[in-house]
A and B are shown apart, each in its own frame.
Chain A
Amino acid sequence: MSIRGAAYIAGIYEHPGRDLPDLTVWEIHIDVARGALADAGLGMEDVDALFCDGTAGFGVLTLADYFNINPTYVDSTETGGSSYLAHVGHAAAAIAAGKCNVALVTLAGKPKSGWQGPSFTPGPESAFEQVWGMMGAPHSYALAAQRHMYEFGTTSAQLAEIKVAASIHAQYNPNAFLQKVVTVDEVLNSPMVADPLHRLDCCVVTDGGGALVIVSPEIAKKLGKTNAKILGHGEAVKHTNNGRIDLTHTGAVWSGPKAFAEAGVNVKDINYASIYDSFTITVLQTIEDLGFCEKGKGGAFVADGGLVAPFGKLPFNTDGGGLCNNHPSNRGGITKVIEAVRQLRGEAHPAVQVPNPQIALAHGTGGSLGSRHGSVTLILGQEDA
């Protein structure tokens, strides 16, 4: 069974706020849920499947209770910031299997104005990783960046090009947290956080959230609007492999081929890509691993505006991405899907809208490149794609 064409993303909503001290996480969840349902032309009463990550209280139990809905299909897959792309794939499979017809995915969090995020039970590895002063994602991703530079000669200036491209896009997004266009030099001159990653190699920290509504083909047809057809999905977990961690590849080497095969397309068919951008190195490794360029050549690929919309080699993250626009709850997966759908609908900002895109890709990387992460690739397209 394939999910190709079995479901559509009919509703999207990104919370416009980036600093939300006066809202609870639960209020953000319901605001984005209602926003995405309204966008689809549906209501809360239509939802029969509920998806959320592992940070939302007791997951689907908490949210179903708060929303006061009675879903008959639920899924709290937790792969960090890539969770929501996994949810889309799982929702499509569930719809294809006849388990549900209207799936709601929500994300909300407040890392900026007051962290109400998860506290996971320490894993069996924690005693061997938590005593060295590794306190945050930048430290861990820096290990991956350093090794990539060593093996392939990637430079800080090349990584900086990724931030520059994101900032060029973000200037057109009135909700973006950072709207100023930056230069390579400005990235290189920003404070070093964890060598070789500078402050501007990192994503923003914002409150907020987003939601998606995935529906069956029958419902998509009734809604009578431009919906994004789900063409393919792949997911993978990449981990430390019994102490043989490989820092230069991501799980995209596994999730990408699965998604492309299911969709029946290849990299040349992709007109727009949302690439998870927790850090500049995340983008660089991902575009290599998805096959947009040869392994180790990502630095050359992103140079000279390779990622700049609408006419770069691979127009990416036209909302400004996690690097400039929004990284709600320290998780950028849902906004990756949202911007890919905007592109397919022709609803991106005119300055960055890709002309008549047929097929878009969205990729999530959750967890850490420096230890273990979940990779999820989605391929979406127009009705006749």
Chain B
Amino acid sequence: MSTLPNPAPTVTQANAAFWAATAEGRFQLQRCNECDTVLWFPRRHCPSCWTENVSTFDASGKGVIYSFTVIRKGAMAYKESGPFVVAYVELAEGPRVMTNIVDCDVETVTVGMPVEVVFHDTGQGNALYRFRPSSK
């Protein structure tokens, strides 16, 4: 099992609220109040109807792996990580988000595997949302 670095994301005006919530162990999503679309990635306007009438809610943190790869040799912050998994996780709420799969042998990861969110503190006032295998 590899230990991953926790590089801090680039926080901007547009994503500050999302990242601040991760420090409290909350994975937040936005939903459009006009057309009910769940948004990803965070932004000011709904990408389906382009209105700015969107609200924020705490997501379930549950999902399944849509696709993944085992990166055999990382670079930069991940240079010493050994093989690690990057995946798209399809959240229960719909969006497919890029992330790492952790807390398991990389050789056991499969498409369709149920996963749940965990948070890894970056030390910069936020945490990376990663996912680990779950029982559903």
B-binding residues in A (CB < 8 A): 122, 124-136, 139, 142-144, 146-147, 150, 191-197, 240, 242-245, 247
Contacts of A142 in B (CB 8 A): 69
Tell me if B43 and A191 are in contact (CB < 8 A).
no
| Complex: A138 Cα to B40 Cα, angstroms | 24
Q: Pick the contact of B39 from A129, A133, A243 — CB < 8 Å?
A: A243
| Complex: A79 Cα to B30 Cα, angstroms | 30
Tell me if B69 and A194 are in contact (CB < 8 A).
yes
Tell me if A128 and B41 are in contact (CB < 8 A).
yes
Nearest to A135 among chain B residues (CB) is: B75
**Contact size range, B:** 35 or more
**Mask of B11-50 contacts with A, CB within 8 angstroms, 1/0:** 1101100010000000000000000011111010001100
Tell me if B67 and A147 are in contact (CB < 8 A).
yes
Q: Does B72 contact A (CB under 8 A)?
A: yes
A-binding residues in B (CB < 8 A): 4, 7-12, 14-15, 19, 37-41, 43, 47-48, 66-78, 81, 84, 86-88, 94-100, 111-112, 128
Tell me if A243 and B86 are in contact (CB < 8 A).
no
| Complex: A147 Cα to B72 Cα, angstroms | 18
Q: Pick the contact of B41 from A125, A134, A139, A144 — CB < 8 Å?
A: A125
Tell me if A192 and B95 are in contact (CB < 8 A).
no
Tell me if A147 and B11 are in contact (CB < 8 A).
no
| Complex: A142 Cα to B48 Cα, angstroms | 28
Q: Pick the contact of B74 from A131, A135, A192, A243 — CB < 8 Å?
A: A135
Tell me if B67 and A242 are in contact (CB < 8 A).
no
Tell me if B68 and A245 are in contact (CB < 8 A).
no
Contacts of A146 in B (CB 8 A): 67-69, 111
Given A243-B40, A243-B96, A244-B95, also A131-B9 (CB < 8 A) = yes
Contacts of B68 in A (CB 8 A): 143, 146
Tell me if B88 and A245 are in contact (CB < 8 A).
yes
Contacts of A129 in B (CB 8 A): 98
> Smallest CB–CB gap between A173 and chain B, Å?
30
Given A124-B14, A127-B10, also A242-B69 (CB < 8 A) = no
| Complex: A111 Cα to B81 Cα, angstroms | 26
Given A243-B96, A247-B67, also A132-B37 (CB < 8 A) = no
Tell me if A139 and B47 are in contact (CB < 8 A).
no
> Smallest CB–CB gap between A376 and chain B, Å?
24
| Complex: A278 Cα to B64 Cα, angstroms | 29
Contacts of A194 in B (CB 8 A): 69-72
| Complex: A326 Cα to B26 Cα, angstroms | 47
| Complex: A133 Cα to B73 Cα, angstroms | 10
Given A122-B10, A243-B41, A245-B88, also A147-B111 (CB < 8 A) = yes
Q: Pick the contact of A144 from B67, B98, B99 — CB < 8 Å?
A: B67
Contacts of B19 in A (CB 8 A): 127
| Complex: A130 Cα to B19 Cα, angstroms | 14
Q: List 17 A-B contacts (CB under 8 A).
A: A122-B10, A127-B9, A128-B41, A128-B97, A128-B98, A132-B86, A133-B75, A133-B78, A133-B86, A134-B98, A135-B78, A143-B69, A191-B72, A192-B70, A195-B72, A240-B96, A242-B40
